[in-house]
Amino acid sequence: MDLFELTRALVDIESVTNNEAAAGEFLFRHISPLAAKYGGRVERMEVEAQRFNLFASWGKPVVTMSTHMDTVPPFFPSREDDTYLWGRGACDAKGIIAAMISAAEKLLAEGVSDLGLLFVVGEERNSAGARVAAETPRGSRYLINGEPTENKLCVASKGALRFEVTAKGSLAHSGYPELGSSAIYTLLDVLNDVRRLPLPEDSLLGKSTLNIGTISGGRAPNVVADEARAEIMFRLVGDAAPVRAAVHKAVAGRVEVREVLHTPVFHFSALDGLPTTVVAFTTDVPTLHETWGTPFLIGPGSIRVAHTAEERIAKQELRDAVEIYASMVKRLFVSNAEAQGTLR
User: Catalytic residue at 123?
Assistant: yes
Please report which residue ranges of 166-233 form alpha helices under DSSP H: 183-195
Sign of CA dihedral 157, 146, 128, 140: negative
Task: Answer whether 97's CB lies under 8 Å from 105's CB.
Answer: no
- 3 state SS of 335: helix
Whether a cis peptide bond, with omega within 30° of 0, leads into 93 is: yes
Q: Name every residue whose Cβ is closer than 8 Å to that of residue 291 and which is 6 or more positions away in sequence.
A: 133, 134, 135, 137
HSE on the CB side for 323, CA within 13 Å? 5
Task: Answer whether 133's CB lies under 8 Å from 140's CB.
Answer: no
The active-site residue, picked from 25, 48, 80, 123, is 123
Report, as residue numbers or ranges, the catalytic residues.
123
